[in-house]
Amino acid sequence: DAGVIQSPRHEVTEMGQEVTLRCKPISGHDYLFWYRQTMMRGLELLIYFNNNVPIDDSGMPEDRFSAKMPNASFSTLKIQPSEPRDSAVYFCASSPTNYGYTFGSGTRLTVV
């Protein structure tokens, strides 16, 4: 089991550019979560899916952020246009029902 796989590991982009972060959850996990971590705000839940359907996106900061899960093995988090304040580490996690999450290694995003 390769765990939750995120790509890229690091992303540096210029303000105004579109950024796409990718996540492959663990096979068989029903739930997928996107978190963002900054020094100021800690770990924040952005959105989560159950069986590929978005359940709660109340943590998505603005309309510039969007997330999709076209199938059980792939999810994307897109930021368009990106801003310097979006700089953070973005984590994807997956979970079976009523159990602990498995987090990926994260994508460190820097917007300059």
Torsion of CA 91, 96, 101, 104, to 10 degrees: -40
Label residue 3 left, alpha or beta by phi (over 0 means left) and psi (-120 to 50 means alpha): left
- Residue closer to other proteins by CB (options 65, 91) is 91
| Six-digit token string for 45 | 């839940």
Cα–Cα distance for residue pair 86/25, rounded to 1 Å: 23
Check residue 60 for interaction with other proteins (CB under 8 A).
no
Indicate which single residue of 14, 18, 56, 83 sits in contact with other proteins (rule: CB under 8 A).
Answer: 56
Residues from 68 through 97 that contact other proteins (CB under 8 A): 91, 93, 95, 97
The piece of 14-22, 40-48, 69-77, 79-87 that touches other proteins (CB under 8 A) is: 40-48
d(CA 78, CA 75): 10
Q: How many residues bind other proteins (CB under 8 A)?
A: 24
Closest CA to 57 of 75, 38, 82, 84: 75
* Minimum distance of other proteins from residue 99's CB (angstroms): 8
Least Å distance, CB 59 to other proteins, is 9
Residues in contact with other proteins by the rule CB under 8 A: 4, 31, 33, 35, 42-43, 45, 48, 50, 55-56, 91, 93, 95, 97-106
